[in-house]
Amino acid sequence: MTKPKILIARAVFPEIIAKLAQHFEVETNQADVVWTAAELTAKLQGKVGAFVTSSDPLNAAVIAACPELKICASMAVGYNNFDVPAMTAAGILATNAPDVLTETTADFGFALLMATARRVSESEAYLRAGLWTKWSYDMFAGADIHGATLGIIGMGRIGQGIAKRGAHGFGMKVVYHNRSRLDAATETQCKARYVSKEELLRTADHIVLVVPYSKEAHHTIGAAELAQMKPSACLVNIARGGIVDDAALALALREKRIAAAGLDVYEGEPQVHPDLLTVSTVVLTPHIASASIPTRMAMANLAADNLIGYLLHKKAVTPLNVPVNIA
Ligand code: DGY
């Protein structure tokens, strides 16, 4: 019996390829070429399933040009690269990879916050450049984490993980802003107080962004918001590029209107706004918040399970939509 054909759009663990190959005829991309929408469309011809990442564009044009496609399974939790309404209308199931990355990503949010507040990258660059000749009382003196007020914008699973780390591990006062307020029990677990965005911007010592990308969330932090923050504040973005106006942030950092920033995601990544590259008070990492080996394996396994579950048994683990039945 011929196996259904699927595409794995980016390089992935060999174990995942082997798992999928038990059920499907698999075309891989172990060279890890980043395909354009047109190249992806060409590769998807004749495929019923696609294993993708958050950087593969599953937009309306691609969807319209792939009539045999039944499921797009992403190994990412964020799915702003998916046109979900177009998939639904075309009878295609969309799945993402929630939960499995929550704690790892919250760990990284905290790591980036600490590196930013305590000037880890900046001081390491100084040392490596051979500039360290003596101890000085104020050399790379930064901000404290313990006891500070942590503001979290976007209080989903990852935001809650960061709140717990801050409140329980570092004795921080946690305030949060979210589209909807959490229930009282969750607020108590996170030791977090709901405030308006304005109050959060005004009062937080450190602000961590964990909102999913949407048109409404575009530039959640722009020039106006940066102007409301404390001059001593640190801003961390582990959400998505476009949540922060990177040009406005670079200017605010350069003019010392806020103290520091830690960024894992960028507008137009993997391009990084050139002004950010020349500011020393920003810690820059290449979209690695979920990148521990066990977690990346769990994310890939979940995407594979969604493909197997749906194509073999019509049952996905983490569906994002209910496709219109066009059979
Ligand atoms: C996610 O899962 O959304 C991460 O940002 C990786 O893309």
Print burial letters for 222-232: b (CB count within 10 Å at least 16), e (below 16). Answer: eeebbeebbee
* Rounded Cα gap, residues 277 and 267, in angstroms: 14
Domains, the chain: 5-100+293-313 (3.40.50.720), 102-284 (3.40.50.720)
Q: How many whole angstroms separate alpha carbon 146 and alpha carbon 124?
A: 22
Task: Tell me which residue of 133, 142, 179 sits closest to 159, measured CA to CA.
Answer: 179
Q: What spacing in Å lies between the alpha carbon of 177 and ligand 1's midpoint?
A: 21
Q: For the chain, percent helix, then strand, then coil, each to nearest 5?
A: 35, 15, 50
Catalytic residue set: 240, 269, 287
Q: How far is the CA of 290 from the centre of ligand 1 (A)?
A: 7
Least confident of 1-5, 7-11, 23-27: 1-5
Would you say 273 and 248 are in contact if contact means Cβ atoms under 8 Å apart?
A: no
The predicted model gives 172-190 an average pLDDT of 98
Cβ neighbours of residue 2 under 8 Å, at least 6 residues apart?
25
Rg of the chain (C-alpha set)? 22
Distance (Å) of CA 35 to CA 2, 16, 31: 27, 20, 11
pLDDT at position 5 over 60: yes
Residues 187-213: what's their mean pLDDT? 98
Q: Ligand 1: which atom is nearest the Cα of residue 238?
A: 5
What mean pLDDT comes out for the span 181-199?
Answer: 98
pLDDT tens-digit map of 96-137: 999 999 999 999 999 999 999 999 999 999 999 999 999 999
Task: Please give the Cα distance from 153 to 90 (Å, whole number).
Answer: 34
Query: Which residues contact ligand 1 via a Cβ below 6 A?
Result: 54, 76-78, 101, 290
pLDDT band at 1 (very low <50, low <70, confident <90, very high): confident
Q: What is the mean pLDDT of the chain?
A: 97
pLDDT per residue as tens digits for the range 41-99: 999 999 999 999 999 999 999 999 999 999 999 999 999 999 999 999 999 999 999 99
Looking at residue 239, what is its pLDDT? 97
- Average of per-residue pLDDT across 162-175: 98
- Span 249-267, average pLDDT: 98
Mean pLDDT of all residues in 220-242: 98
Residue 281's pLDDT is 97
Please state the rounded mean pLDDT for residues 291-307.
98
The reported pLDDT for the residue numbered 327 is 55
The residue whose CA is least distant from atom 6 of ligand 1 is 76
Query: Rounded to two decimals, what is the model's pTM?
Result: 0.96
Q: How far apart are the first and last CA of the chain?
A: 22
CA 298–ligand 1 middle distance (angstroms): 13
Whether residue 31 is predicted with pLDDT greater than 90 in this model: the reply is: yes
Predicted pLDDT of residue 325: 81
- How far is residue 214's CA from residue 212's CA, in Å, rounded to a whole number? 6
What's the pLDDT band for 244 if we cut at 50, 70, 90?
very high
Whether the Cβ atoms of residue 266 and residue 241 lie closer than 8 Å to each other: yes
pLDDT at 326: 63
- pLDDT, mean of residues 302-317: 98
Q: How far apart are CA 83 and CA 132, in angstroms?
A: 51
